[in-house]
Chain A
């Protein structure tokens, strides 16, 4: 039972501010999954050890991921009254030295990546401002290339606060939106979200306010709301970052949604492969309950709401809302036909509203800062910002939150810093495995729901995979088809056997055993899978094939007619040869060849026995004289 008063919230807020900006120097280490994978655990140990060594009474805290995953392990240092300085790409040694240097004020500026001079919350409260700067030459956060074009709304707190502290969340303006919403009527809340133009960030792009309204109009005592945290796209981790960096923002978003819709029970469906997210969510829900934000009669408003966690067991298709519901209910996961929509008959046949993590995280700022503010961002039909996970052959990989309508070029070159080694940009796969592969001719395409759809791709949940000239487009399409083939629930013939058939044809193409008419057949088959499948997985799964056939047909034809893989990826179509003029006869390759396919006497030109060669590429990687040539077709 909650009897928390706004005054109590102020106490929490003060505690949070104290914890965010204490009167002692503070080190915040980014400890989300990406940071941990890069070794943040060791960095934390090192730093704590070094602080003890030097007998420094600093505060060390764990934060989520600030988004620039390329720079992990990452930490910030903040001394009272000074700017907040971020240090990236740490090693244990660097971290050890850093503590010492910081304490002695002799920091090597090359070390530092960017700095933050002030912190203003979403409800416009200035938490700190630093007039002076210690280190002049480090770029400001808002001027730093990676962040310059970003506008963080959903990711507003990620990397800045301790995800295990409800006080820090409140200090950053958390739960203020919920309090504001409680003063509104439920239908006003829904109207507010409708006016903001927020659309579902999970893939479909259905207007969120309208979705809430449909559910709220259903006549039922019990209604459920669900947060879909079953993020399964390969290479995409927007939701994980929010779950690990700012779990309370989801709880607050769900509270507002529940209040608007009239629901008293919610579920967060999170995949079991996100153990850290589950741990942090569990803590956050517990804290919200303890502090009276979840439970009965919240803030004496008469409104009651609680959240349960449900764990997915790793099926990609559970991201589809009807399959997700089946999973929570404990049934085998198979999507079912809509209508009836979950808003009519969802979890346990009660009206249910499902939004994904990013959508929920967007809700509090909209309520707090106004729908006009939100709808001023983005394009005519796609409002606000979108988080993308920018990965692949790009210099700056990480999570980027950019306003809708930004072009692919800006994302790739301005935010992403261009292609690694200045290679040639070839394509960008948007929308995860169900999305499409767009070529260079589309690089100035504004990123919004409609433009992407028109180009044959989708917004999806926000995966963006950049590929360069070294990537074979047929192989790429095959990779995604293999993924969706493995993840198909197997109910519809079209998806289950259709994708398997696509896989077979693509395999034939990459093995050089295909004929030109296969391409027409592949295209027809892809279209039929789109038309004949029931759920979102099947109807979008052929997109990678269909878009690559549309934009990169020449490459397919080259595979078939010339048996040529220009990216030199498809093993059946390449041969490794030795360039006589370059070979010095060092025998390095011959020693390492696992099949003993390379023969040659010392100081004499070597030769590769093509019959034995398994095309593992060891010789190519070993040769220091550029004497190994990969040949495919005429190239």
Chain B
């Protein structure tokens, strides 16, 4: 420990720390632009210079590089330091007059303007952060300073594109001018491959360490191994360095955890319909044809555009079309109704009108399904607004305009079935209300859990009225859209109901069941195991010790398949034994 004085306050600081580290640890602010905790200090911006008095000598040193020494008396804001900083800020402003970090400092130190504005476009302040992160942390060494003095700049070897750059993008991430100075496309002919945010429907990018979505439970960041530089090259490890609680562990692996449970609630949700299957709507071809989920992110205040409805290449949204039943109620795709799209479409129309009051919104529907509390009222309200709600399925979206002034816009071709007229509506935005489909792997799970499915792949409940959350497999419940398309209120209701059903069974401690069950007559069972594969409820297992089949009476639903199939007649149906049935027949005949 060394004893130092910073701004007339004494501190005990660990030896080997720099003055900047010491000051930051003590909560004192020293401005800097070229320092980053994860990188070796470089001392290029000079802003962190402080006045040091040691052994009767006064010196001025960059605090990011100068180590603390016993008896140092440090002033971080002495008059000469502040004067110098003002000059440095002015010189930095001359290079990057619009960089926010520098403007903030200029404001703080009262620097209003720079008198040395540079004529060149390059806004690089030559802080070297990009170079250091590329060399020290990424291990690529793709960029370096070239030339000296005023001619100095960040460049590539031989000032030419080359293969070393892996387009990891760390250089632009670290750039204090807001990535204006280092741009990947100027560095390499490798195409930058930004990591697209799944939550933002690929409309925004995310880092390789990220929290999947804002309300994620648990709200803990995860590492995307496929994109993390550390998992590609073994370098980087910056997140580990900056994580104060030391929570980053690169050795962690996925593991399979086995749990014994009394009940399972299946809530695997749905997949949105893939509109690429309907090429006539131009999804993926025109950037302004989007799905309802994408619109959800774009219109969200926490979304990639902060709620502004903007698209690359579209200057103004004068009108928008909302297409219902994309992948629903369609012989070619899904015959069923996805149930929630109608209301979602009306909401979207409302949002567009709200954000873009001068725009026109067209809804193309087959029938409006507004069955829900307050839904019909909302629909009626929308009917009264100036949103054009047109009954008719859209045939095609095309970029061939009818009028020359609509060049660059999209045209919606549809039939208004109420008027019996063909419509061609020029629009700037098309929202496809994609339907709900079972998850792609729904059948795999059904196979594992032995759940029966509809022909589309939705899980079947045991009884639509009497047991809407139960399945034929005792102890397995379903809730939400995996059972059939549902909106949020319905999903929540079914989920709660499933949870309550499970809890009521568990809390009781005992299990009441129908008395009609199959039973194995141990002496007769030959151990052929035919019955085991036949039982649809996973109720029969094989006892290796006794070499006979055993039936779990809690799981057995008394269907009788095993009874009929047993070649040795070793399985009896309690209450329906041959003897009992024959006795019954005899009784009837006696009358």
Task: Name A residues whose Cβ lies closer than 8 Å to a Cβ of B.
Answer: 315, 317, 332-333, 337, 339, 485-494, 496-501, 504, 524-525, 527-529, 531-534
Given contacts A485-B149, A488-B149, contact A527 B80 (CB under 8 A): yes
Beyond A524-B83, A534-B43, 20 additional contacts (C-beta under 8 Å) are A337-B43, A337-B66, A339-B67, A485-B149, A486-B150, A488-B149, A489-B149, A490-B148, A491-B44, A494-B46, A496-B149, A496-B152, A497-B95, A498-B91, A500-B116, A501-B94, A504-B116, A527-B80, A531-B81, A534-B46
Interface mask (B31-58 → A, CB under 8 Å = 1, otherwise 0)? 0000000000011111001000000000
Given contacts A337-B62, A492-B43, A497-B91, contact A531 B148 (CB under 8 A): no
Task: Name B residues whose Cβ lies closer than 8 Å to a Cβ of A.
Answer: 42-46, 49, 60-62, 65-67, 80-81, 83-84, 87-88, 91-92, 94-95, 115-116, 125-126, 128, 144-145, 147-152
Which residues does chain A contribute within 8 Å of B61, judged by CB atoms?
337
Give chain B nearest CB distance to A595 CB in angstroms: 29
Interface pair B88/A528, CB less than 8 Å apart = yes
Interface pair A489/B148, CB less than 8 Å apart = yes
Which of B46, B61, B65, B83 has the most chain A CB atoms inside 10 A of its CB?
B46
Interface pair B80/A315, CB less than 8 Å apart = no
Give chain B nearest CB distance to A541 CB in angstroms: 11
Interface pair B88/A532, CB less than 8 Å apart = yes
Closest to B18 in A: A337
Give chain A nearest CB distance to B40 CB in angstroms: 10
Closest to A489 in B: B148
Q: How far is the CA of A533 from the CA of B88 in the complex (A)?
A: 10
Interface pair B65/A490, CB less than 8 Å apart = no
Give chain B nearest CB distance to A577 CB in angstroms: 35
Which residues does chain B contribute within 8 Å of A494, judged by CB atoms?
46, 84, 87-88, 91
Q: How far is the CA of A533 from the CA of B49 in the complex (A)?
A: 9
Interface pair A490/B126, CB less than 8 Å apart = yes
Which of B45, B81, B125, B150 has the most chain A CB atoms inside 10 A of its CB?
B150
Interface pair A493/B65, CB less than 8 Å apart = no
Give chain A nearest CB distance to B27 CB in angstroms: 25
Q: How far is the CA of A492 from the CA of B33 in the complex (A)?
A: 12
Which residues does chain B contribute within 8 Å of A500, judged by CB atoms?
116, 149-150
Which residues does chain B contribute within 8 Å of A531, judged by CB atoms?
49, 60, 80-81, 84
Of the residues B67, B80, B94, contact of A497 by C-beta under 8 Å: B94
Give chain A nearest CB distance to B511 CB in angstroms: 74
Which residues does chain B contribute within 8 Å of A501, judged by CB atoms?
91, 94, 115-116
Which residues does chain B contribute within 8 Å of A315, judged by CB atoms?
148
Q: How far is the CA of A528 from the CA of B45 in the complex (A)?
A: 13
Q: Can you give 18 contacting A-B residue pairs, CB < 8 Å?
A: A337-B65, A337-B66, A485-B150, A486-B149, A490-B150, A491-B43, A491-B128, A492-B46, A493-B92, A494-B91, A497-B91, A497-B95, A500-B116, A504-B116, A524-B83, A531-B80, A532-B49, A533-B46
Which residues does chain A contribute within 8 Å of B125, judged by CB atoms?
493
Interface pair B84/A488, CB less than 8 Å apart = no
Which residues does chain B contribute within 8 Å of A529, judged by CB atoms?
87
Which residues does chain B contribute within 8 Å of A525, judged by CB atoms?
87
Q: How far is the CA of A101 from the CA of B128 in the complex (A)?
A: 68
Interface pair B87/A528, CB less than 8 Å apart = yes
Q: How far is the CA of A296 from the CA of B551 in the complex (A)?
A: 92
Of the residues B45, B60, B67, B148, contact of A493 by C-beta under 8 Å: B45
Q: How far is the CA of A485 from the CA of B149 in the complex (A)?
A: 6
Which residues does chain B contribute within 8 Å of A533, judged by CB atoms?
46
The 10 closest A-B pairs by CB, nearest first: A490-B152, A528-B84, A497-B91, A531-B60, A488-B149, A528-B87, A337-B65, A532-B46, A532-B84, A490-B149
Given contacts A493-B46, A496-B126, A500-B116, contact A488 B88 (CB under 8 A): no
Which of A485, A487, A525, A528 has the most chain B CB atoms inside 10 A of its CB?
A528
